[in-house]
């Protein structure tokens, strides 16, 4: 008998498959006391649970993620590496003689309740995300093993109460997923969207009776899950499926054409790349160049940094994939939420040793990378991007290091240097554009960190999210000033960060004279379609109005009017 359920769509798409039903329930936490002899073992379970979840988050960071999604994962990872949090959990075991799962719940539940009680939409989402993180840790601590199949193919739709991100990664060929526990911003949904696998959420009551090994239709456009479709339902779905495929093919075909505004001016949209696994999407969505290669994330899974030869081979693989188009290599941006094991703990990592500051203080980290870049530049169109620059003296020191690195090239091979650019991420960098410009070929504005430092609001602290506003009057004025000074010196301007994929910000960026954006490849079709409807005169008028606004709400009203 046919059954259709209205579902919440977390990752869209249309799929016809066969259901694979797994039954699993979340086990309630037992808060009874454990014996003194069991305390050491329960503390070990806490460390094992944290290690398992960090490993799952590291696997997530190896996938194609947007800037917001990557920040979400990194925030969770940073939290789990917090020594005070770990000590608090272990202390609960010792003090209350409770098991590991109970200690995790005792420590994290008050945090969830506190954040969820704040009347702010972003904080409410973070409360849900933290609750899910708590639940995953509890399941790790209880040693639960999922009664899941070893493999699922592209005809099978997994129907299960809940699924962790690490479990989901076991099934790269899966056709679709139906669960009763997931939200749009959790890691499972992030992964599903990145892998373009349909993910639907139904209530536990609706999920319960769904059968195993039956025909199932997932319709992400209509938001429905249909089991055992009738002939009429099946034929109607087939028509919608063919139409959906045609639209997808049209989007991908159009993505390969240049991005232009309504006046016909071409606009560069490059790709942010963090892993080799993301390269196929760069070409698929028409990104002609890599606008930001996050080199520190390429090697985060290693215990030690690779030597110059290993880095050269990795960078060369990427350069070959996008040649003859340029690749912008950002120097290692360790620090803040991207820490090396050997880096010391700091009271405030975001204001500590990070970016080029760390590289100049520890040249043994930077020299192998500069050697690899110098060698690669002789073969490919390479741009070198320097993170967290604040003053011109840092560029002078970097130049000396680069010349030292290039001296290792064989005689006669040091004929080309990479184009040099800086990340504009701090107020100091904005104010020092004039001083740095003679040494530069381009600038890349990193809006995520620039917003953070402009407002002195930690972007990884959910309680400060209402103060972290990339599209705001102060930020727009800072960007306008930065662009005007860069243009006065003839510098090419690109912009990366979350603002690069915000359609509402695009007209302002176009009016400021920004030459290109760098974003997650999957965001290019949307930005390209918005760009095609904008003309420069219209955008300039909007920017003039935006620069006169006094509040974020006033600015939002102007942008919504376009």
Catalytic residue among 90, 287, 496, 539: 496
- Say whether 449 counts as a known binding-site residue: yes
**90 is a catalytic site residue:** no
- Say whether 25 counts as a known binding-site residue: no
- Say whether 357 counts as a known binding-site residue: no
Catalytic residue among 187, 353, 483, 539: 187
Handedness of CA 549, 553, 555, 560 (dihedral sign): negative
- Say whether 265 counts as a known binding-site residue: no
- Say whether 126 counts as a known binding-site residue: no
Taking the C-alpha atoms of residue 146 and residue 163, their distance in angstroms, rounded to an integer, is: 9
**51 is a catalytic site residue:** no
Q: Are 128 and 183 in contact (CB under 8 A)?
A: yes
* Angle separating helix axes 363-376 and 392-406, nearest 10 degrees: 60
- Say whether 330 counts as a known binding-site residue: yes
Q: Strand pairing partners for 219?
A: 14, 224
b or e along 188-209 (b: 16 or more beta carbons within 10 Å of the residue's beta carbon)? bbbbbbbbebbbbbbeeebbee
- From 440, 469, 448, 445, select the one nearest 549 (Cα to Cα): 469
- CA distances to 251, 468, 509, 528 from 268, in Å: 18, 27, 13, 10
Q: Peptide bond preceding 324: is omega within 30 degrees of 0, i.e. cis?
A: yes
Please name the residues in contact with 347: beta carbons below 8 A apart, sequence gap of 6 or more.
none
> What are the phi and psi torsion angles at 472 (to 5°)?
-150, 160
* Burial of residue 547 (number of CB atoms within 10 Å: 0-12, 13-18, 19+): middle
Taking the C-alpha atoms of residue 468 and residue 120, their distance in angstroms, rounded to an integer, is: 13
Q: Please calculate the CA angle 407-410-414 and round it to the nearest 5 degrees.
A: 60
**Active-site amino acid positions:** 187, 496
- Binding site for phosphoenolpyruvate: what residues are annotated? 294, 330, 448-449, 459
- Binding site: what residues are annotated? 294, 330, 425, 448-449, 459
- Binding site for Mg(2+): what residues are annotated? 425, 449
């Amino acid at each position: 008998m046919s059954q259709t359920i209205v579902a919440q769509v977390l990752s869209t798409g249309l799929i016809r498959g066969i259901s694979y039903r797994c039954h699993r329930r979340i086990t309630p936490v037992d808060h009874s006391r454990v014996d003194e002899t069991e305390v050491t073992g329960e503390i070990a379970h806490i460390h094992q649970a944290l290690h398992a979840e960090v490993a799952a988050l590291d696997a997530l960071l190896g996938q194609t993620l947007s800037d917001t999604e990557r920040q979400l994962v990194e925030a969770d990872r940073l939290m789990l590496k917090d020594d005070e949090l770990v000590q608090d959990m272990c202390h609960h075991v010792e003090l209350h003689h409770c098991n590991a799962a109970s200690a995790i719940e005792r420590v994290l539940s008050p945090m969830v309740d506190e954040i969820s009680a704040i009347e702010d939409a972003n904080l409410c989402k973070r409360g849900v995300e933290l609750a899910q993180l708590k639940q995953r840790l509890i399941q790790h601590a209880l040693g639960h093993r999922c009664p899941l199949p070893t493999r699922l193919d592209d005809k099978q739709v997994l129907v299960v109460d809940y699924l962790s991100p690490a479990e989901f990664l076991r099934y790269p060929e899966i056709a679709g997923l139906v669960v009763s526990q997931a939200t749009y911003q959790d890691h499972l949904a992030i992964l599903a969207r990145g892998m373009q696998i349909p993910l639907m959420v139904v209530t536990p009551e609706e999920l319960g009776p769904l059968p195993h090994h039956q025909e199932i239709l997932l319709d992400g456009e209509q938001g429905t899950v249909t089991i055992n479709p009738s002939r009429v339902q099946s034929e109607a779905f087939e028509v919608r499926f063919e139409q959906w495929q045609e639209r997808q093919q049209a989007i991908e075909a159009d993505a390969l054409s240049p991005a232009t505004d309504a006046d016909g001016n071409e606009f560069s949209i490059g790709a942010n790349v963090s892993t080799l696994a993301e390269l196929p999407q760069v070409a698929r969505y028409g990104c002609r160049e890599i606008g930001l290669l996050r080199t520190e994330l390429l090697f985060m899974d290693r215990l030690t940094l690779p030597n110059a030869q290993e880095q050269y081979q990795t960078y060369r693989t990427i350069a070959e994939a996008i040649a003859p188009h340029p690749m912008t290599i950002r120097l290692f941006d360790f620090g803040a939420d991207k820490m090396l094991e050997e880096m010391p703990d700091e009271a405030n990592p975001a204001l500590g040793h990070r970016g080029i500051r760390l590289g100049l203080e520890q040249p043994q980290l930077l020299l192998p990378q500069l050697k690899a870049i110098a060698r690669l530049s002789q073969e490919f169109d390479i741009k070198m991007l320097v993170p967290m620059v604040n003053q011109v003296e840092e560029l002078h020191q970097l130049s000396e290091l680069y010349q030292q690195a290039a001296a290792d090239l064989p005689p006669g091979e040091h004929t080309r240097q990479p184009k040099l650019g800086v990340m504009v991420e701090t107020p100091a960098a904005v104010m020092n554009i004039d001083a740095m410009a003679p040494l530069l070929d381009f600038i890349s504005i990193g809006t995520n960190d620039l917003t953070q430092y402009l407002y002195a609001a930690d972007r990884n602290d959910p309680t400060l999210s209402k103060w972290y506003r990339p599209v705001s009057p102060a930020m727009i004025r800072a960007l306008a000033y930065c662009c005007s000074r860069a243009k006065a010196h003839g510098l090419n301007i690109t912009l990366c960060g979350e603002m690069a994929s915000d359609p509402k910000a695009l007209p302002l960026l176009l009016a400021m004279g920004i030459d290109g954006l760098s974003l997650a490849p999957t965001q290019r079709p949307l930005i390209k379609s918005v760009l095609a409807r904008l003309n420069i005169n219209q955008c300039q008028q909007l920017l003039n109005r935006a620069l006169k606004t006094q509040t974020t709400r006033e600015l939002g009203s102007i942008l919504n009017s376009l």
